[in-house]
Structure 1
């Protein structure tokens, strides 16, 4: 029985071996993965590797064929030579027996011993010989001679196969077979054994075998193999280097085109390729230069048209500000005295008042966009609590939430203070909350404010109709609407989210969104604690976060007249404030 310490040592040893194997396998996987990535990222590497693989296969095939032919020729020549040597020795033995003219047993024994001993040359190709009595005799013999016993003959007898003995016993032809012989140095090398039948007068038939070594032929084969290996290695190295140089030379224009394309993508429309010659690569360079010139011309034209459009919008907005303000004031007076008007005129006064408010908001948004386009926006930042801003926005939108039957959940985590311009952050959150309320389909809306180490994030999510991937890509475009047939209950110009994103970028932050049709949508605002600083977003953008249940301040909509009146007054106050801000911006400009 093994002791506990022995079991522990065995278990530890197995664990160490398994750990080493796992480490080696992991390192091998890392190397293979790195090689695969290198081949995927480099066209030159793939081409050179392909050429090398083809070269290795071709050289291996040709080398194998050549080596096989060399070995075959050497072997056939060696067999032919040794067969001639054997035939010469056998003929001399037969001549010596015939010369003896009815030799006696002793004389035949001496001839047999001399024949076997003469075929033993350890330094040459002859390994040894053996004389074996044939199992088939034609008739009774007068006497038998002893089989010569030498060290080599004993080894040779053990190498003779039964088929070889049978073939030699059946006729007087010369037969041979391949064997493995041992040299004087103890090495095992290929060889052959040759045999035929001898008729000794009075003694009957004997089988005469001689073993020959093919050591010199094997040595020659080794030299040829070494030469072919070295030559193939040098050839493959030359092919690899040549392929790398040629591929690099051929792909240089392609690399240049790739580099210039990257410059074009970054706005460098003056990037051009050098045209050399009239081949396909030169045609590539000319086509690239034509494309770059065309892109440059089109971009210049679009830039000029965009500038004209921006100037037009800015000029029209400024020119319309004064008459619209006058009309707004006159309309407000009529609206304030609407109770003195007949019922038909009273309804017209109310509609006029609402549309004048929408027109004023649209002009304010257009002026704001014009300032962003002109790069004239400045930030009046101060330290503020984004949770308080979110609470104020949600309270201001109670009437809209109640009319839509939507529950709004507000939650915060961490320090939610940051250096921002409260007016712009309030405008961003208001746009996000209003959009969520309008598309929530009566399901909860969640506003989550989270403070991180270097930033504060505001997440507004709903479980409503949601957004598709394509819609999410265009949701911040100017005047874009996901569903043009959908009726807005809170007005709007189609510029709210565009301005919201610009406000976020002005703080050095981001405004992004994600959604899924039938699941919901999420908008995520993130701003650094200090304007323009690098930050890490404390929240990850995800779809339909409103599905989770959160605590915190919960605002539940209720259809009360007091809440509706308070919301209308608050909305009017906000619109009047925006009109005043736009007028103030116009005066500064």
Structure 2
């Protein structure tokens, strides 16, 4: 089965192979038809000319024998010798040279049995079908047959016969057997020449097809390789332009497109760098006035009991908004580090169960306030992995707080599982779920599913963007499933060893409690936020922030709900 797959793969990948194969097949058909037609015409021409001459000789011999018998006055007992002399006279004319084979052999068949004239020919060389026709009509008939010699030889031949009658009313059948050895040799030589010419013609056509296909396919392959390098980030790649034909126009068009894309990408990169620098500068510049305002607000907050109720409430609101503003600046600085490629992973060996318990303990008061209960399901064995505990805690905290806020007062389940290669954390809620189309927006910065809905937990709108970058920094997956009315489930999968590639996850992406009616979108739906890197030398980072797509065995099967590497933001 493997060779067939290799052949099928080569057939799908190579235009040149398909062109040569198609040319070979068509050439075989055309050459075969042409060879069969020519061989038939040549064979028929050779045999027809020889058959006409043979029929003429046989007709003359039969007529001569009949005339001789008609005027013979031999008594019946001597008639056999008379026929023998007549036939020997006819047969003698078929041997033009003592050193060569006779032109024909003669066989006489009658009521008294069969007798051959000329040595070594068997009477069974005359087919029964020819005898029946000769016996029924007084005409000359012919047919192709095999001449059998008494020494065992068998050669192709032509049998021509007619009927003769003696003066006493006895009927005899006189047959001329013409060997076709020379004609067969000529036909064999012609067929060999045609076959050789056909093979050479097919080889020539295949060579021409290979040459033509190579001239056409080589520039296309070159364009494909250049396009691959171009898409990998080598924006200076260009095709060589030779001549003024169609391929040259293709190369010029490709180069113009590449130059335009390079210019536009350069502009976008410059704009992105300006935006990143602006966010970083603003975040740093706001730190100093924020610190001053924070100090003054802390003094007012500590003395709020001395103010009247209206002023006291204003001080509390000021303190809360300053907390949120400070958190926003912290998130902006973190995002700017990711955008600049300056985020570093301080990995160590940690038990992911401990991180989850720490997050759940901190989120329990919020869950109580929302009327939800946090249910934790962890394995008995330690779930050790080489991770940055601060970043993993931040990811899990974002997922848990998100689930509590959108859980509509239902229980939130946090599950931890591990296998030999990976550790996974899944957060399941039974809230509003994800609507179709929202999955393409959930990782946009500052995006909310319901713009009219206030952030009751003080979120900045950057939590899941940062969580996705943290997962990518670990070489992990951050994926989500959601369906309106069924809630959602977010799954974080991390390799046990830093730098290992993930192949599967210990937890299923689709929850077990989803009924048969819960359909899942095939593949990742929507694209998370994609940043433009400041350097063109890192093409891999220009793709999705998630390090890799979902494992093949977990690819969803039907297009209705939302299973994707994206999440919902509070």
Provide the TM-score with structure 2 as the length reference: 0.78
Q: Which of 404, 408, 412 is residue 375 of structure 2 equivalent to?
A: 408
Corresponding position of 1:48: 20
1:379 to 1:35, Cα distance in 2 relative to 1, 3 A:
closer
Q: Does 1:216 align with 2:182?
A: yes
User: Which residue number in structure 2 is paired with residue 139 of structure 1?
Assistant: none
Greater share of helix: 1
Distance in 1, Cα, partners of 2:507 & 2:40? 68
Do residues 494 (structure 1) and 465 (structure 2) align? no
Contact 1:196 1:208 in 2 (8 A): yes
Q: Which moved more, 1:36-45 or 1:534-543?
A: 534-543
Is 1:35 the counterpart of 2:10? The answer is no
Distance 1:108 1:172 in 2: 21
The residue correspondences of 1:352-367 to structure 2 (distance < 5 A) are 352-367=318-333
Equivalences for residues 351-430 of structure 1 within 5 A: 351-402=317-368, 403-412=370-379, 414-430=381-397
Give the alignment of 1:255-266 within 5 angstroms: 255-266=221-232
Does 2:225 align with 1:225?
no
Counterpart Cα distance in 2 of 1:335 and 1:267: 53
Give how far 1:457 is off. Answer: 3.5
Q: What aligned pairs does 1:174-185 form with structure 2 within 5 A after superposition?
A: 174-183=140-149
**What is the deviation of 1:114?**
3.9
Say whether the 8 Å CA contact 2:160–2:177 is kept in structure 1.
yes
Distance in 2 separating the partners of 1:170 and 1:511: 96
Cα 1:253–1:404, aligned 2, differ >3 Å: closer, same or farther? farther
- The RMSD of aligned alpha carbons is 3.2
Instruction: After superposition, give the CA deviation of every residue in 1:174-228 in whole Å (9 maximum; x if it has no partner).
Output: 1223334435664655433322222321234433233334343333322222222
Matched, 1:504 2:471: yes
In the alignment, the residues of structure 1 paired with residue 149 and residue 68 of structure 2 have an alpha-carbon distance, to the nearest angstrom, of: 31
Distance 1:522 1:232, change over 3 A: farther
- Residues of 2 paired with 1:436 and 1:214: CA distance? 98
SS at match of 1:369: helix
1:104 and 2:75 correspond: yes
Paired residue secondary structure (1:264): helix
The answer to whether structure 1 residue 155 and structure 2 residue 121 are counterparts is no
**Which residue of the partner structure matches residue 24 of structure 1?**
none
Q: In the aligned structure 2, how far is the partner of 1:183 from the partner of 1:353?
A: 125
SS of residue in 1 equivalent to 2:174 = strand
Partner of 1:83: 55
Matched residues in 2 for 1:463 and 1:84: separation? 105
The yes-or-no answer on 1:58 pairing with 2:25 is: no
Displaced runs of 4 or more, over 6 A: none
CA contact (8 A) 1:189 1:213 kept: yes
Contact kept? 1:112, 1:148, Cα under 8 Å = no
CA distance in 2, matches of 1:546, 1:87: 98
- For these two proteins, the number of residue pairs brought into alignment is 502
Question: Which string of whole-angstrom CA distances, capped at 9 and with x for unpartnered residues, describes residues 139-176 of structure 1?
Answer: xxxxxxx444348564146x222xx5564345432122
Distance in 1, matches of 2:149 and 2:429, equals 91
Tell me if structure 2 keeps the 8 A contact 1:406–1:440. no
The runs of 5 or more residues in structure 2 that have no matched partner are: 515-570
Cα distance, 1:266–1:105 mapped onto 2, change above 3 Å: same
Q: CA–CA distance in 2 between the matches of 1:232 and 1:46?
A: 21
Deviation (angstroms), 1:127? 5.0
Contact 1:401 1:408 in 2 (8 A): no
**Aligned counterpart, 1:237:** 203
The equivalent residue for 1:196 is: 162
CA drift at 1:296: 1.3
Residue equivalent to 1:523: 490
1:431 corresponds to: 398
Q: Are 1:268 and 2:237 an aligned pair?
A: no
Deviations 1:450-485 (A, max 9, x none): 444455433334455444786555543322344445
Q: Could you list the per-position Cα deviations for residues 271-323 of structure 1 after superposition, in whole angstroms to 9, with x for gaps in the alignment?
A: 11111111111111111111111111111111111111111111211222233
- Which residue of 251, 254, 265 corresponds with 1:288? 254
Which of 477, 483, 505 is the equivalent residue of 2:444? 477
Q: What CA distance in whole angstroms lies between the structure 1 residues aligned with 2:365 and 2:303?
A: 25
Using the TM superposition, give the Cα deviation of residue 252 of structure 1 relative to its aligned residue in structure 2, in angstroms: 1.9
* Cα-to-partner distance string for 1:371-402 (whole Å, 9 max, x where unaligned): 22234434444443221111010111113333
Deviates further, 365-374 or 188-197:
188-197
CA offset at residue 58 of structure 1?
1.0
Shift of 1:539: 2.0
User: Secondary structure of 2:279's match?
Assistant: helix
Sort the Cα spacing of 1:128 and 1:463 in 2 relative to 1 into closer, same or farther, 3 A. Answer: farther
For structure 1, the 5+ residue unaligned runs are 1-28, 134-145, 549-589
Q: Is the 8 Å Cα contact of residues 189 and 215 (structure 1) preserved in structure 2?
A: yes
Is the Cα–Cα contact under 8 Å of residues 434 and 487 in structure 2 kept in the other structure? Answer: yes
Equivalents in 2 of 1:236, 1:521: separation in Å? 64
In structure 1, how many angstroms separate the alpha carbons of the residues matched to 2:305 and 2:228?
Answer: 67
TM-score (norm 1): 0.76
**Alignment-derived partner of residue 248 in structure 1:** 214
Matches of 2:148 and 2:132, distance apart in 1 = 25
1:457 pairs with one of 404, 417, 424: 424
C-alpha contact (below 8 Å) 1:466/1:520 kept by paired residues: yes
Question: Which segment is superposed worse, 475-484 or 288-297?
Answer: 475-484
Is the Cα–Cα contact under 8 Å of residues 164 and 172 in structure 2 kept in the other structure? Answer: yes
Counterparts of 2:77 and 2:294, CA distance in 1:
150
CA distance in 1 between counterparts of 2:345 and 2:37 reads 81
